[in-house]
Amino acid sequence: MATTPIAVQRMRRELSEVVSSQEMMDCNIKIALLENEEITELKGFIGGPPDTPYEGAKFELRIVIPDTYPFYPPKIHFVTKIWHPNISSVTGAICLDILKDQWAAAMTLRTVLISLQALLAAPEPDDPQDAVVAKQYKDNYPAFVRTAKHWAHAYAQGPTVDTEFDEKINTIISMGFKENDARVALSSNEWILQKATESLIRK
């Protein structure tokens, strides 16, 4: 179904506001229009907030505007892989109330992007999208921080290099497994090499 004139008009205004906003620039939040005349698909970019495991990293989002916008929320997921309790480490799906039942027509893409950046700074592990990450966050927070930093470096240009984690990944790669599978297995098994390897073999 084609996007309605209301949605198109609204999106043009919102795009202009985000692109020209000094606040968005200061927060390291950007939006880009794909080659789509109906303004139904966009790319968003969010910088990792200061004093978080994601600081210095850059995350890409895919934003799809439904024909019912602004009465229903945009559909958004993370294209860049991330280790976060409220974002699926597999699909990039996001658990955020304003993208579901708490959406209001007065909200804008600016609202959503700022809220997503705030979610990176303040995860909600009791309402997770990724149960494995949420469990680690609650049971072993230092391991969560270290893993999140590693993923930010591996997938989002984050600054933190963890040579110990890299060596373990390379060990599993040498057994014939793919890098991403090795990273997921280790991350999900507290970076214990034997447990991670066993989980891959059982698949």
Distance CA 44, CA 53 (A): 20
Burial code (b: 16+ CB inside 10 Å, e: under 16) for 128-155 equals bbbebbbebbeeeeeebbbbbbbbbbbb
Please tell me which residue in 29, 95, 99, 196 is annotated as part of the active site. Answer: 95
Active site residue 95: yes
**Active site residue ranges:** 95
